[in-house]
A and B are shown apart, each in its own frame.
Chain A
Amino acid sequence: MKLELENICIDFREIALYRDFSIGFDEGKITCILGPSGCGKTTLLNIIGNIVKPDRGNLSGFEGKIISYIFQDPRLLPWKTVKGNIEFVLGKEIPPEEREQLADHFIRLVELDDFAGYYPSKLSGGMRQRVSIARAFAYSSDIILMDEPLKGLDIKLKLNLIKTFSRIWEKDKRTVIFVTHEVDEALLLGNEIIVLSKPPAEILTHLSMEIPLGDRSLDSPSLSGLKMKLLNTLGN
C-alpha cells in the first residue's frame, strides 16, 4: 500500500509553503526528501505526523499508523539512563520484562551495550543520537520520521551513524521518511530520493536508488555522478 498526501495547501508565517502539493511514499522503504533550508521539510513531517493540519488536502494510508521520531537534537531525558530513555517511550501495554528486553536489544544494535546505565550527560553527541535511533526503532511504530538527525555532526560521526542506522533498518525494513538538505546523506540512506524546490514546493526530481544501503560509497563513480546531478537540481 502507498502512503499519500494529495493536493496539500499550507502556509507558514505567511509563506505559501505548499500549493496543491502531492507526494507518495512506498511502505518498507527509506524516502529521503531533499530540499533547500526553509522549503517546508519540517512542516511536511508535521503534516505526516498529524501534528499540523494542512489548510486543504488529504492524507491517505496514514490512518492508524504509529509513528516514531528521530529529531535533530536527540531529546533525551537527562535524568534517565540510556536504557531508561528507551523504556520511557515503550507503553504500558508491553510488560516490564519485555520492555527491558526490547531496550537491551536495541542498545546492543546501536553498540551502546557498555553504556546502558549511563546518563546522557556522560555520552558524546554521536552516542546520544544513537540512543535516539534505538528509541525510534524500539518503539513499535509503522513509520519513522527523521528531521535532519545528522545536522551538526562531523563527517566521521555521520558516516558511522548512517552505517548503524542502515544495519538496523536492513533487519527491520520499516517505512522511513527522512528530510535533509545534505545530498550525501540522501545518497547514502535513501531508497527513494525526492528533491523539493523552494516554496511553494514542487517535486524537482525523483530518484530510485538500486544499490543496497550497505554497499554505497560516496567515492564510487555512480554515486558521484548522481551527486552532481542532485546538486545541480538543488542549485536551481
Chain B
Amino acid sequence: MMKINLLPSEYRKAERTPFIILLPILAGLICVLSAGAVAGYVKFSWRAEVEAERVQLQGQMRQKQPRLNYNASLLKEEAEYKKQAETISKIASSRILMTKKLDELCNLIAEGDAGQHGGYMVWVEQLKTKPAKRKRGRKKKGPQPAGELSFSGYVLANNAPLQDFNRFHRAIKDSEMYREQFMGINDPKGSVTEFTDDKVPTKGWSFALSADMTDPAEIMKTRAKKRLEAKKEARRKRK
C-alpha cells in the first residue's frame, strides 16, 4: 500500500539527516578539527618558540663576536711572532764559526811541524768553503751538512811524502775539531811531486781534501748533551 502525504509542506513532519550521512560528517569534522588544531599548534606555537630561541641565541653569539674576533687577531699575531722567533733562532744557530775552523786547521798543521801526530809538513795552496745548497723537494733523513770546506796543497818530505800525508789525514780524523765540526772527509789520494830546485824538502804529496761541515745547530745540540752528561757524571761522582 502506498501512502501519500497530502499535508502542505510546512505541516509535514521534518525529515532527519539520515544516520549514514551524519556519522561520516561528525567523524570527518572531529578529524579535520583535530588535525587543524595539531597543525596550528605546530606552526604557531612550537615552531615559533623554536625560532624565537634561535634568534635569541644568534643575538647572544653576535654579542660575543667582537671578543672572538679580538681573540682571532691575537692568535694570528702570536703565530706571526712565533714564526719570526723561530726564523731568527734558525738564523742565529746557522752561523758557522769560520775563524774557529781555519784557526784549528792551522793549529793542526803547526802540530805536525812540532812533530806531533808523527810529524808532517803541510803547505796549503788553496782553501775554500762552500755553503750547502738549499735543495727543494723531500729532505733527506738525518743531519745534513752545512757546507763544504776544501783545501789543496802539498805534504812535504824528503822521503816518502805519502806516509806523512797519511799521518796528516789521520791526525785530521782523530782531532777534536774534526769530530765536532765535520761529518766526513774524502779518502786520501794524490800524487808525488819531485821538486827540481835546490830547496828542501825535495818531495811533496799533492792532495785535495774536502770535508763536509756539520750543521752548527747540531754542534750546539751535541755540546749541550755533553754538558748535561758531564753534570750528571759530576753529580754521580759527588754521591
A interacts with B: no
Chain A interface residues (CB < 8 Å from chain B): none
